[in-house]
Amino acid sequence: MQAELIARAKALLADGTVARVLGWRKGDTDFNAEPAVFETAESLDEFVYDGFCGANLSKYMIKNSKLEGKTLVFLKPCDTYSFNQLIKENRINRDNTYIIAVGCYGKLDINKIKAAGNKAILSVAEEGATLKIHTAYGDAEMAREEAVLDRCKVCKGGKHVVYDELASFVDEEKPAAEGRFDEVKKLEAMKPEERFAFWQGELSRCIRCNACRNVCPACSCIKCIFDNNNYDAAQKVNTSSFEEQMFHIIRAWHVAGRCTDCGECSRVCPENIPLHLLNRKFISDINEFYGEFQAGEDTTSRAPLTNFTTDDVEPSIVKERG
């Protein structure tokens, strides 16, 4: 798998099809691969593709696709939606991009493996549906399914919506998982006080590290309004500032209709706040009110919030549906 991709990247570099390769390399541990740009065949030896390559590379293409020469990028199925959405918003130069669609069996969450009782993990090997975990205290096994990221449990399926070539190990037919909106529905079924308490518990942990914003492919503004002194929203003075207090809802609002539900925000949150639920709520509402819509599915359709019909539901629907 990894070897196939390295070989292909080296070939494309060698024949001049691409000038650089956007992929992953080992992070500070073996279990948090990070995005990296490779410009030479030698550097590609550091290229990694394994269960820990959760990072969505689409956003990095905003910059790379503007550089001289094509960039090769590897996209997992869900990453392609983000990529398409960025094409729609004219952020990525598609002509300057070469996409290899890579397969994905669900990316792994090291915290889940640790939580299963594995301490001092030295390596994790993926063998089909089983993970072989090698630790300082001996070896262990666990089902792969139990170790995947939450977002992968509601996988959008194996289909890549944009690519130039498919890697050998892709499964375009892999069906989407069911129950994507179950968490949202569960919250909706609660009483308002309970919901408030839930979010109070979650959001109060936020340390405003901005990781969610920085990783989000939709949050790709030249300058975020919260960093822009020309806009009275930026108020970095104290914890009672508008920026501090309304950050998450405004961020969710800004990406509403554009968010592909890639789940990166929750993956990178150091406090494990389920931020994706805010986005998913918008998606679920949009589906309910204005018809099914998947951002990034194509590059031409109009986003729900820049569109309307004359007989749209009234805002009072929120009160009426109880």
Is there a contact between 300 and 244 (Cβ–Cβ < 8 Å)? no
- Name which of 182 and 194 has its Cβ closer to other proteins: 194
Structure-token match 């952020």, residue found: 91
Nearby residues of 276 by Cβ (< 8 Å), 6 or more positions away = 151, 261, 263, 265, 266
Q: Hey, what's the torsion of the CAs at 292, 296, 302, 305, to 10 degrees?
A: 70
Which residue lies nearer to other proteins by CB, 1 or 221?
Answer: 221
Q: Which residue, 174 or 180, is less far from other proteins as judged by CB? A: 180
The one among 30, 50, 150, 244 contacting other proteins by CB under 8 A: 244
Q: What angle do CA 43, 48, 50 make, to 5 degrees?
A: 175
Separation of alpha carbons 27 and 30, rounded Å = 6
- Confirm if 30 and 52 have CB atoms less than 8 A apart: yes
Residue in 128, 138, 291, 315 binding other proteins, rule: CB under 8 A: 315
User: Do residues 49 and 24 touch, judged by C-beta distance below 8 A?
Assistant: yes
Segment 252 to 281, residues that bind other proteins, using CB under 8 A: 252-256, 258, 278, 281
Task: Assess contact for 279 and 289: CB atoms under 8 A.
Answer: no
Name the 3-class secondary structure at 51: coil
The residues in 295-314 that bind other proteins, with binding defined as CB under 8 A, are: 302-310, 312-314
Nearer to other proteins, 128 or 230 (CB): 230
Report the run of H or E that residue 138 belongs to, with start and end. Answer: strand 138-143
With CA atoms as reference, report the closest residue to 209 among 269, 252, 278. Answer: 269
Is 116 a binder of other proteins (CB under 8 A)?
no
24, 36 contact by CB (below 8 A): yes
> Which residue lies nearer to other proteins by CB, 16 or 240?
240
Query: Contact between 292 and other proteins (CB under 8 A)?
Result: no
Cα 283 from Cα 303, distance rounded (Å): 11
Q: What phi, psi does 37 have (nearest 5°)? A: -105, 130
Q: Considering the complex, what minimum distance in angstroms separates the CB of residue 203 from other proteins?
A: 5
Applying CB under 8 A, does 70 fall inside the site for other proteins? no
Considering only the stretches 110-118, 139-147, 150-158, 248-256, report the one whose residues sit in contact with other proteins under the rule CB under 8 A: 248-256
Q: Is 247 in the site for other proteins (CB under 8 A)?
A: yes
- As measured in angstroms, the least distance from the Cβ of 73 to other proteins is 20
Q: Is residue 221 part of the contact set for other proteins (CB under 8 A)?
A: yes
Under rule CB under 8 A, residue 137 binds other proteins: no
Residues 169-188 that bind other proteins (CB under 8 A): 184, 187-188
| Closest CB to other proteins among residues 95, 314 | 314
Identify which range of 106-114, 135-143, 168-176, 203-211 contacts other proteins by CB under 8 A: 203-211
Q: Which stretch binds other proteins (CB under 8 A): 31-39, 124-132, 224-232, 291-299?
A: 224-232
Q: Which of 76, 282, 295, 296 binds other proteins (CB under 8 A)?
A: 282
DSSP bridge pairs for 131: 126, 142
